[in-house]
Amino acid sequence: MKQNKSFKLYSRLHVLRAEKRITQQELADAVGVTRGTIVSIEKGNYNPSLELAFKLSQYFSSNIESIFSYSEDSQ
């Protein structure tokens, strides 16, 4: 029997935004997405593309792993 594995992506965007004192809209404008995309990432409802993850890491001058982490679950 084959087990399906899934993973949950966690984001620190809310914390990083608070440290920089910027709004969701300001971050969205800076990386070229909608505010709704930032909201969805922060709530864990949307996994960003690799391109967007790199843009966010550049914006915050950090690596992707310091913004996003994940846990793997067996189903």
Q: Is 53 exposed, middle or buried (0-12, 13-18, 19+ CB in 10 A)?
A: buried
CB pairs under 8 A, 24+ apart, for 45-53?
47/9
- What is the model's pTM? 0.84
Gap between the Cα atoms of 19 and 28, Å rounded: 16
Every domain of the chain and the residues it spans = 7-62
pLDDT tens column, 64-74: 999 999 887 75
| Between 1 and 41, residue with greater pLDDT | 41
pLDDT tens column, 10-22: 999 999 999 999 9
Gap between the Cα atoms of 43 and 24, Å rounded: 12
Gap between the Cα atoms of 6 and 65, Å rounded: 18
Superfamily classification of domain 7-62: lambda repressor-like DNA-binding domains (1.10.260.40)
